[in-house]
Structure formats: C-alpha cells, structure tokens
Amino acid sequence: MLQEIQFEKYNKKGADYHYKQINKFNFKNFNISVLARYQKHVNLVVNYLKNSLKNNNEIKILDIGCGDGVLLYLINKKIKKNNIKLYGVDLSEMALEVARKKLQNGFFIKTDVYNLKFEDSFFDIVISSDVIEHVNYPDKMLEEIKRVCKKNAFVAISTPIKYTKKPLDKMHFQEFFQEDFFNLMEKYFINCNLIESHNLLFKLFYEKIFKFGKYKLPIYKYIINIINILTRINLFKKERKNDNELFSYMYVTGKNN
C-alpha cells in the first residue's frame, strides 16, 4: 500500500489556521478564495435542507477531513437548529482539539477516511472539502462514505480542478479534471451534479507574489481583500458566463441509492 502524504499545514500554520483565513479582521491571513469555497459548501447544505427536509427529524451531518471544524462551524451558524447533529473526523488531533472548543455541541473523532468509526446507514448528509485530493485511494474513501450514508442521503464533495500535470500543492496526492471527478462520483452516487467556481485567471492574479528586495508581498490579494471588506463583493463566487471560461475549483453533489 502506498504511503499517504502527511498533512503538515497545521504544524506550520497553526491548528486554527482555517479560522484565520475566514476572519476579515486578520488581514494578514484573510483569504476570500477560501471563504468563498466554504460559503458555497454551506449554501449547498442549507439549500438541500430547505428543499428536501420538511420535518423536524434529527439530521446527522458528517464532515470528512474536518480539520479544525471550520466548515461545520459555519453550517452551525447558518442553520441554528437543535435537531442538527454535527460530526467530524480527521487525523490531526491538534486540529480536532480546536474543533471541539469552537463547536462544543459537535462530535469529533480521530480516524482516517478509509475506516470511519460509525455504523452503516448513519448519516443524512456527508460533506468533504479539500480532502479527496490528499488520499491515495479515493475509491476506498467513497466506498466508506457510501457505507455510512442513509438511503437518499445527500453528499457534497469539493476539490481543486486539475490544471497542471503535477499538483502545485505538494500535499496533494492527485487532482482531478472535472469529467474524471464527476465520473468517479457517479460510480457511487446518483443524481450527481457538477458545480464549478473560482475563475482560474482570477485565482492566478490573487496568488501572484511580488518581490521587493528581501520582501515578498501578494499585492493583488491585499487589494482584492480590501475590496471585499468594503463592499462584500467576492469575485470567486461568480458562475460561468461562457464556455471558454476556466475554473480552479469544483463540487460534485449526489444522493446515496
């Protein structure tokens, strides 16, 4: 079996670095690209709950690779209902400790994506953001997700879109073209839908680094962040306007059969 790539960002950036990325008052770390990714994922869950679940039955939501719990935290802020039970799994105990402090009504367990410590048909909703590109065996991950999903459970998984031969992030084991990822999801779930976001050209501008002697500054990032803080405009949320537009991020949603 191939060795999994060890995720080291919590050690380098801090166990709560995702919270810093969505905090507009933490200007050095604030990242509207990351914020847009989370907000889209939250909206997918919220819209599903509004359109598909009309009763007050208990709803169990699992975030796979939850890290410091920021996605569940945002979902909890948006929904605010007592019948929603939030669960998260991750391999980083230091990140899970942050999640437990931020979401004291959540349930967080240290485990890997191949061996979820839950019984069959347990969850109504399963989400995962920026995880599947880190694993060696995405099929095994999806098989395990399917196992813990109830019949007709909602699944929403997001990942970067592949646009270079090798992943630019050394923590990524593999990345996917849109069609390949959609086809992978269709092997396990029904009614799949592909959603693209984060215009690639805009992303490249946002991440461009300028060198001034010994200093390196992301000038465009700071300018775009200031625009967002002043106007709440987030250009990463814009949807496709023409067939030639390139995107850098995607979600595939589906239902368990």
CB-based contact 83:59 (threshold 8 Å): yes
pTM of the model: 0.92
**β pairing state of 123-129 and 149-160:** parallel
pLDDT in tens, 193-224: 999 999 999 999 999 999 988 889 999 999 99
First to last CA, the chain: 30
pLDDT in tens, 119-139: 999 999 999 999 999 999 999
Sites in the chain below the pLDDT cut of 50 = 1-3
CB-based contact 63:71 (threshold 8 Å): yes
Name the amino acid, one letter, at 239.
E
Cβ burial of 12 (10 Å; 0-12, 13-18, 19+) is exposed
pLDDT value for 240 = 72
